[in-house]
Structure 1
Amino acid sequence: MKLLKPLFLSLMLAASIPAMSQYTDVINSNRPGVSKAAFSVGTNVLQLELGGYTNKEEHTPLNYEVSGFGVDFAARFGLLLEELEVNIEGIYQNDTFTSNASAIPTEDKRSNFRTFTIGAKYLVYDPYKNAEEDKPNIYSYHANRRFKWKSLIPAVAVYLGVNFDTENNPYVPYTPFAQSLESGISPKVMIATQNNFAGGWVFVMNFFKDRIGTDFSDFQYILTLTHSFSEQWVLFGEAQGIKSDFYSDNIFRFGGAYLWTKNFQLDANIAFNAKDTPSVFNIAFGASYRFDWHKDKEIDNGGKASDKVDTSKRKTKRKKKNTDFDSDNI
Structure 2
Amino acid sequence: MEFSLIRKALFLSLLIPTVSNAQYTDVINSNRPGRAVSAYAVGKNVVQAEVGLFYEQQDDSDLNFDSNIFGTDIALRYGLLFEQLEIVYEGSFISQSIDFAGLAPDQTLTDFTRNRIGAKYLVFDPFKNPEANKPNLYSWRANNKFQWKNLIPAVSLYGGATFTLGDNPFYLGDPNISYRGAVATQSRLSPRFVLISNIAYDRIGTDFPEWNIAVSVTHAFRNPKWSVFFEGQGIESDRRSDLLVRTGLAYLFHENFQADFHLGSNFKDSPSRLFAVAGLSYRLDFHKDVLIPIDQQSSGKNGKIRRNSSKKKRKKQKRKKKDDIDF
User: Fold match, TM over 0.5?
Assistant: yes
Summarize the alignment of residues 215-230 of structure 1 with structure 2, pairs less than 5 Å apart.
215-229=207-221, 230=223
3-state SS of the aligned residue for 1:296?
Answer: coil
> Deviation string for 1:244-287 (max 9, x for gaps)?
11111001100010011000000000110111000000100000
Letter in 2 for 1:296: D
What is the distance in 1 between the residues matched to 2:133 and 2:120?
27
CA apart distance, 1:169: 1.2
The alignment-based identity, stated in percent, is 43
- Taking the TM superposition and a 5 Å limit, the aligned residue runs for 1:87-106 are 87-100=88-101, 102=103, 106=105
Contact 1:64 1:101 in 2 (8 A): no
Residue from 192, 198, 208 that aligns with 2:200:
208
Please give the alpha-carbon distance, in whole angstroms, between the structure 2 residues aligned to 1:136 and 1:128: 12
Amino acid at match of 1:243: E
Tell me what 1:275 maps to: 268
Tell whether 2:245 aligns with 1:252.
Answer: yes
Which amino acid is 1:248 matched to?
S
Give the gaps of 5 or more residues in structure 2: 1-21, 299-327
Q: Which amino acid aligns with 1:241?
A: G
Q: Is contact 2:257–2:282 with CA below 8 Å preserved after alignment?
A: yes
Does the CA contact (< 8 Å) of 2:256 and 2:282 recur in 1?
Answer: yes
Per-residue CA deviation, residues 96-125 of structure 1 (Å, 9 max, x unaligned), is 0122372xx521111100010000000000
Which amino acid in 2 is paired with 1:153?
I
User: 1:123 aligns to what?
Assistant: 122
Question: Which amino acid in 2 is paired with 1:166?
Answer: L
Q: Tell me, what secondary structure is at the counterpart of 2:238?
A: coil
| 1:23-38 pair list within 5 angstroms | 23-38=24-39
Give distance in 1, aligned partners of 2:133 and 2:275: 42
> Counterpart of 2:149 in 1: which secondary structure?
helix
User: Structure 1 counterpart of 2:107, which letter?
Assistant: D
Paired residue type of 1:210:
D
Distance in 2 of aligned mates of 1:128 and 1:135: 9
1:11 equivalent in structure 2: none
Query: What's 1:166 paired with?
Result: 165
The alignment's TM-score, normalised by the length of structure 1, stands at 0.81
The structural deviation recorded for 1:133 is 4.3
TM-superposed deviation, 1:131? 3.4
Distance, in Å, in 2 between the alignment partners of 1:96 and 1:61 is 18
Give the structure-2-normalised TM-score.
0.81
The worse-fitting range, judged by mean Cα deviation, of 123-132 and 53-62 is 123-132
Aligned length: 276
Does 2:287 match 1:294? yes
Over 3 Å counting, the alpha-carbon distance change for 1:50 and 1:132 in structure 2 is farther
Q: Aligned equivalents of 1:208 and 1:231: distance in 2?
A: 31
Q: Secondary structure at 2:37's aligned position in 1?
A: coil
> Which protein has the larger Cα radius of gyration, Structure 1 or Structure 2?
2
Tell me how far apart the structure 2 counterparts of residues 198 and 106 of structure 1 sit (CA, whole Å).
Answer: 54
Q: What CA deviation, in whole Å up to 9, does each residue of 1:8-67 have, x standing for no partner?
A: xxxxxxxxxxxxx82111000000111111000000000100000001100011101110
Distance 1:144 1:126, change over 3 A: same
Structure 2 equivalent of residue 319 of structure 1: none
- Once residues 64 and 169 of structure 1 are traced to their aligned partners in structure 2, the CA distance between those partners, rounded to angstroms, is 20
One-letter identity of the residue aligned with 1:262: E
* Residue-by-residue CA offset, 1:280-300 (whole Å, 9 max, x unaligned): 001000000000000011012
Partner of 1:138 in structure 2? 137
Q: Given the alignment, which residue of 228, 233, 239 partners 1:235?
A: 228
CA contact (8 A) 2:220 2:227 kept: yes
Matched residue type, 2:153: P
Give 1:155-194 correspondences, 5 Å limit.
Answer: 155-172=154-171, 174-175=172-173, 177=174, 181=175, 184-194=176-186
Local SS of the residue matching 2:291? strand
Residue 109 (structure 1) aligns with: 108
Equivalent residue number for residue 15 of structure 1: none
Determine helix, strand or coil for the equivalent of 1:295. Answer: coil
